[in-house]
């Protein structure tokens, strides 16, 4: 009985180690998004650059005020490199930022002039 309990404890420990180790079978995208557009943003959506199937709103019910930052995380089952980001403003206008390599950036700043400033991860 004691060996069964030890084996069960070892298996549970191993499962917990994998669960909390950050090991995933899909690529995890994790970056800071900074709003420098001069306007509030009501939705942020992403899609693979080769597709136009936009994600759900990554902000949920949150409104991203101008000059604020939010950390975005999502699992990428396809291990996509190039992404487009779509910002929607309170007046319904939409701005798209195209071809962003989210695998290499730590932050993306959305600017007033429609450009995105990328901060690259250190190697």
Residue range 67-119, pLDDT digits in tens: 999 999 877 777 888 999 999 999 999 999 999 988 888 999 999 999 999 99
Q: Is the pLDDT of residue 27 over 80?
A: no
54: tokens are: 């936009």
pLDDT band at 122; cut points 50, 70, 90: confident
pLDDT of residue 10: 42
Contacts of 115 (CB under 8 A, 6+ apart): 97
Q: Burial letters for 21-54: b for 16+ Cβ neighbours within 10 Å, e otherwise?
A: eeeeeebebebebbbbbebebbbbbbbeeeeeee
Q: Tell the CATH topology of 26-120.
A: Immunoglobulin-like (2.60.40)
> What is the pLDDT of the chain when averaged over all its residues?
81
Q: Do 116 and 97 contact (CB within 8 A), yes or no? A: yes
Q: Is the pLDDT of residue 49 over 50?
A: yes
Distance CA 67, CA 37 (A): 8
pLDDT of residue 123: 61
Q: Is the pLDDT of residue 3 over 70?
A: no
Helices (H), ranges, the chain: 2-20
DSSP structure class, residue 102: T
Looking at per-residue confidence, does 11 or 62 come out higher? 62
pLDDT of residue 1: 52
pLDDT of residue 50: 92
pLDDT of residue 121: 78
pLDDT of residue 60: 93
């Amino acid at each position: 009985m004691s060996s069964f309990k030890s084996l069960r404890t070892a298996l549970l420990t191993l499962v917990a180690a994998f669960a909390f180790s950050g090991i995933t079978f899909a690529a995890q995208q994790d970056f800071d998004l900074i709003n420098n557009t001069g306007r509030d943003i009501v939705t942020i959506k992403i899609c693979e650059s080769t597709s136009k199937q936009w994600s759900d709103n990554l902000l949920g019910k949150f409104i991203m005020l101008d000059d604020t930052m939010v950390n975005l995380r999502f699992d990428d089952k396809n291990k996509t490199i190039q992404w487009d980001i779509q910002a929607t403003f309170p007046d319904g206008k939409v701005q798209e930022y195209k071809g962003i390599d989210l695998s290499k950036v730590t932050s993306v700043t959305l600017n007033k002039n429609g450009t995105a400033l990328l901060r690259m991860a250190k190697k």
